[in-house]
Amino acid sequence: MGYYTDFRLEVLETEESEVEEIIDHLRKDSSSAKYAIDDYGDYLEESKWYDHDKEMKEFSKKYPHALFKLHGDGEESEDKWVTYYKNGKSQFCQGVMVYPVYDKSKLI
């Protein structure tokens, strides 16, 4: 079976003209990325890209000037996250659901 995640990739801190080339390179390097994201980094289909962290750390070394922002939306409702990658390093950011505080003026 396995655990499915929807992925989306943004390539930041680089020339806009280079983004498609970088994503194409990633999709050729990683068979999992090929099925997870399209030519523009958008969600393609839910996938089991289990090695995304390892692969993105290594891939980001090939474009040390670029900042990669990988979005993940897992099967479980609270499994939403973003990981940033730059030159072999990463920062994982777990999504947090926040409810607004009570405001009596909004009572209907």
Residue 65 is predicted with a pLDDT of 97
Residue 1 is predicted with a pLDDT of 75
Domain extents in the chain = 5-106
Name residues of the chain where pLDDT drops below 70. none
Residue 71 is predicted with a pLDDT of 98
Burial of 48-83, coded b for 16+ CB within 10 Å and e otherwise, reads: ebeebeebbbebbeebeebebbbbbbbeeeeebbeb
Q: What is the pTM of this model?
A: 0.91
Looking at this protein, which amino acid is placed at residue 22? Answer: I
